[in-house]
Amino acid sequence: MEGKWVINDRYKVNEETMPHLLAVLKGVKMKYIPPVNMQKTIIKDIAQNGIEVMLYNGEKEVVKHYFVGSEFGDGSDTPFLMKGSAQPFMMFLPGLDGSVRRRLNYNIGEWKSKIVFEEEVDKIKKIEMDYPQDRTSGFTITKYNDGYKILNADNEVTNRTPNQNTMAAYFDFFSYIRGESNESDNPERKRIVASPVFCKLSIVYTDNTTKSFTFYSMGDLTGDFVTKSPGHVHVDNKFFIEMPDGEMLLAQYRVLNKIMKPFWYFF
């Protein structure tokens, strides 16, 4: 993941939360020096509830090390204490009407990226889609130098002529699709993966590596909708997605519908 922020050396960072953190690291300013009668309370709070922040340079050397305590006043006064110092400072972020500490205190689900697909389309060789409850809607599209070819669920070529522009656009859809939440720690995850699979999607790359994704209908689990075919999905439905790395995301059908197409869509 060269050139990208990662969390715990494993996960891509949420593109919404990372700017919040960087804004604090770059822009926080001193508001005032707390009076002596506040300092003991602040230091005690930091010892119990402080967030430790360590910043490194490219050589992995610590260039700044401090602790952030609980908010005071209206929530915009946040105490900072440098490592090895006994003098706390009350800090704030200009333009922010709210908590500085909150921007350093996201949970792991908030830190993780919600991106489902962010593919380099020119490196995709083949896309395979399987609908276990509606096999005839499945397909495989392969990209060749002279265009695209599509097979049905039985890996057969039909007599009909597919639309090359439609298949090219379908590949492009995988350049960016974002979910709405991380569900890896969902307490109902075992129940989710035990439910009927709506579809399985595999992307094969030009280097012959493969990524596989499994989609489960949220509507089936809640009893709001029955979803078996890509031609009959309620617009308000959502899907749990088991990702290639074992994580799970939730995404709206309104976002996913452009890739949840049946075989006949391409003609």
Domain identity same for 183 and 256: yes
Domain identity same for 80 and 154: no
Which tops the pLDDT comparison, 99 or 60? 60
Domain identity same for 178 and 221: yes
Domain identity same for 171 and 201: yes
Confidence grade of residue 154 (pLDDT, cut at 50, 70, 90): very high
**Lowest-confidence region among 4-8, 177-181, 183-187:** 4-8
Domain identity same for 175 and 250: yes
Confidence grade of residue 107 (pLDDT, cut at 50, 70, 90): confident
> Which of 106, 134, 166 corresponds to the end of one domain?
106
Q: Identify whether 66 is part of a domain.
A: yes
Q: Identify whether 4 is part of a domain.
A: no
Domain identity same for 152 and 92: no
pLDDT digits (tens, 9 = 90+) for 182-218: 999 999 999 999 999 999 999 999 999 999 999 999 9
Q: What average pLDDT does the segment 29-48 reach?
A: 93
Q: Identify whether 235 is part of a domain.
A: yes
Domain identity same for 138 and 259: yes
Q: Identify whether 96 is part of a domain.
A: yes
- What is the percent of the chain with per-residue pLDDT over 90, rounded to a whole number? 78
Domain identity same for 94 and 129: no
pLDDT digits (tens, 9 = 90+) for 226-258: 888 999 999 999 999 999 999 999 999 999 999
Number of folded domains that form the chain: 2
Domain identity same for 210 and 255: yes
Mean pLDDT of the chain: 93
22-25, long-range: CB < 8 A, 24+ apart: 23/93, 23/96, 23/103, 24/93, 24/100, 24/103, 24/104, 25/53, 25/55
> Which of 106, 124, 159 corresponds to the end of one domain?
106
pLDDT digits (tens, 9 = 90+) for 79-105: 999 999 999 999 999 988 778 999 999
Domain identity same for 147 and 26: no
CA atoms within 13 A on the CB side of 11: 21
Domain identity same for 54 and 157: no
Domain that holds residue 76: 10-106
Q: Give the pairing of strands 115-117 and 51-56.
A: unpaired
Q: Identify whether 3 is part of a domain.
A: no
> Which of 47, 81, 106 corresponds to the end of one domain?
106
Report which secondary-structure segment, H or E, holds 54: strand 51-56
Domain identity same for 102 and 136: no
